[in-house]
Amino acid sequence: MENTAEVINTANQAINQTAPQTDWWGMILYCIIVFGIIYFLMVRPNKKRMAEYQKMLDSLQIGNRVIAAGIYGTIKKINEKTIEMEIAKGVVIEVSKNAVASVE
């Protein structure tokens, strides 16, 4: 019986020595690095692009020629959330400010 207990004890020691130890600090550091890379390659450039777009929308003025929803036109009136633009002589349409793609 003693011999069996020694074998079991030796087996348990071998299992404990070969079992991988979890390195929590390494895992946390790895996650921080991955999130940092994602932030600098994806989130930050998108925030910059959105800030430039908002600046462009805020600088819209009557008489500017714009492309909105794929349609070229000249701004005739600016409302809070929409603009009225003339696309042909006497043809005025109302579009969302967010539809403006660029100002010429």
Domain-embedded: residue 13: no
Structural domain tally of the chain? Answer: 2
Rg for the chain, CA atoms, rounded: 32
pLDDT digits (tens, 9 = 90+) for 21-56: 667 888 899 999 999 999 999 999 999 999 999 999
Per the prediction, the chain carries an average pLDDT of 85
- pLDDT of 78 above 90: yes
Domain-embedded: residue 9: no
pLDDT band at 86 (very low <50, low <70, confident <90, very high): very high
Domain-embedded: residue 5: no
C-alpha to C-alpha distance for 69 and 76, rounded to whole angstroms: 16
Domain-embedded: residue 2: no
- Give the predicted TM-score (pTM) of the model: 0.63
**Angle subtended at Cα 89 by Cα 93 and Cα 69, rounded to the nearest 5 degrees:** 35
